[in-house]
Amino acid sequence: MRGCVALFTLTILSGCTGVQSALDPAGREAGTIARLFWWMTIGSMIVWLGVIVLLIYSVRTRAESFTRRKARIMIVGGGVVVPVVVLTVLLLYGLAPIPAMLAPAPPGSLKIAVSGEQWWWRVHYLPPGQAPIPSANEIRLPVGEPVEFHLESPDVIHSFWIPPLGGKMDMIPGRKTRLVLTPSRTGVFRGACAEYCGASHALMAFSVVVQQREEFAAWLSHQSQPAESPQELLAIQGAHLFLANGCSACHTIRGTAAAGVVGPDLTHVGSRLSLAAGILPNDPNAFERWIGQTHDLKPEVLMPAFHMLPPEDTRALAAYLEGLK
Ligand code: CUA
């Protein structure tokens, strides 16, 4: 029996860690939220225990043993005074962190614009004094620095959420919302859409990589460069097929004639941790599956499936895209 209880407790607690856990904070804002959660949990446990004790007491006590005055004190005290005091304290404690969380990041901080699309994430890094650097479905951040996200959506309401780093923020068509996150340790985390936005809402995730300052700066500088030309024969064929099959109408690969803006920027797609907004690993096989079975993998996605292509063409496209590091 004791073994069962221990196993149950361990199973429950193991849910508190991991790449997408709000209770395993890796950022200043998430730390505040986790602390709030635990104090609210402790507060509600104390209230619950108090109610249970009173319930047992009332069942075991005979009504005649109460004077009218004592009964009135019990009702007014336990029914009005205690709940008002406890709920006011918890409410004030819960409201206290909000102003700091909604404040903008200090001047000079890195800004990142993210747009929720169907069903992926359009990302633009906006380093001070430089041109915007496009990316998609992956966010990299320098550790220990506040970063200000500018969030929007062209279609429906999405919600931007990286649980280990902070709270969620809605992405609302026609409006810009702001969220500041300050990662406190390096690592790889997972973000997700937290607002139902259509058929593939649950297939709209992204990787979050928190790096040391210098590592991040080197990565960002590489992302700002155009794509390198492919060297291998298969990949060179893939580059031709990319333009010949109209992929370039929707996707940009900087440094080539592909300049579409409907879908994700693919200039460095091969360097990302995952494919198709967090649902596939980033390898040639996954690229082939995505190109040929787009709608089986992500229902109602805007990209058409290219299952009509001969397998050797799909393989060449996959080799080209995977090589865009
Ligand atoms: Cu986007 Cu749910």
| Ligand 1 nearest-atom number relative to CA 204 | 1
Assess whether the C-beta atom of 193 lies below 6 angstroms from ligand 1. yes
Measured between alpha carbons, how far is 258 from 226 in angstroms, rounded to an integer?
12
Assess whether the C-beta atom of 168 lies below 6 angstroms from ligand 1. no
Give buried/exposed letters for 2-33 (b at 16+ CB in 10 A, else e).
Answer: eeeeeeeeeeeeeeeeebebbbbbbbbbbbbb
- Give the mean pLDDT of 95-101: 90
pLDDT for 1 equals 62
Tens digits of residue pLDDT in 106-164:
999 999 999 999 999 999 999 988 999 999 999 999 999 999 999 999 999 999 999 99
CA dihedral 155, 157, 162, 163 (to 10 degrees): -160
Assess whether the C-beta atom of 201 lies below 6 angstroms from ligand 1. yes
Distance from the alpha carbon of residue 88 to the mean position of ligand 1, in angstroms:
34
Higher-confidence position of 13 and 316: 316
Between 233-244 and 311-322, two packed helices, what is the crossing angle to 10 degrees? 100
Q: Which residues contact 154 (CB under 8 A, 6 or more apart)?
A: 115, 117, 173
- DSSP label of 245: T
Question: How sure is the predictor about 65, in pLDDT bands with cuts at 50, 70 and 90?
Answer: confident
- Residue closest to 137 by CA, chosen among 223, 266, 224: 266
Predicted confidence (pLDDT) at residue 228 exceeds the cutoff of 90: yes
Q: Which residues contact 71 (CB under 8 A, 6 or more apart)?
A: none
pLDDT for 272 equals 97
Assess whether the C-beta atom of 114 lies below 6 angstroms from ligand 1. no
- Strands 147-152 and 110-117, by their bridges, are parallel
pTM of the model: 0.90
Measured between alpha carbons, how far is 83 from 213 in angstroms, rounded to an integer?
48
Q: What values do phi and psi take at 164, rounded to 5? A: -70, -10
Assess whether the C-beta atom of 205 lies below 6 angstroms from ligand 1. no
Lowest-confidence region among 31-45, 62-76, 88-102:
62-76
Surface-to-core class of residue 248, CB atoms within 10 Å of its CB (0-12 exposed, 13-18 middle, 19+ buried):
middle
Question: How sure is the predictor about 27, in pLDDT bands with cuts at 50, 70 and 90?
Answer: very high
**Ligand 1, atom 1: nearest CA belongs to which residue?**
158
Distance from the alpha carbon of residue 191 to the mean position of ligand 1, in angstroms:
11
Predicted confidence (pLDDT) at residue 186 exceeds the cutoff of 90: yes
Question: How sure is the predictor about 96, in pLDDT bands with cuts at 50, 70 and 90?
Answer: very high
pLDDT for 10 equals 64
| Ligand 1 nearest-atom number relative to CA 196 | 2
Predicted confidence (pLDDT) at residue 271 exceeds the cutoff of 80: yes
Predicted confidence (pLDDT) at residue 84 exceeds the cutoff of 80: yes
Measured between alpha carbons, how far is 82 from 72 in angstroms, rounded to an integer?
14
Question: How sure is the predictor about 15, in pLDDT bands with cuts at 50, 70 and 90?
Answer: low
Predicted confidence (pLDDT) at residue 61 exceeds the cutoff of 90: no
Measured between alpha carbons, how far is 275 from 147 in angstroms, rounded to an integer?
24
Distance from the alpha carbon of residue 193 to the mean position of ligand 1, in angstroms:
4
| Ligand 1 nearest-atom number relative to CA 116 | 1
- DSSP label of 265: -
* Amino acid identity, position 250: C
Q: What is the mean pLDDT of the chain?
A: 93
Distance from the alpha carbon of residue 120 to the mean position of ligand 1, in angstroms:
8
Q: Residue 264: beta bridge partners?
A: none
Q: Which residue's structure tokens are 């939220």?
A: 33
Q: Residue 181: beta bridge partners?
A: 147
Write out the two tokens for 215.
């590592």
Assess whether the C-beta atom of 38 lies below 6 angstroms from ligand 1. no
- Give the mean pLDDT of 201-223: 97
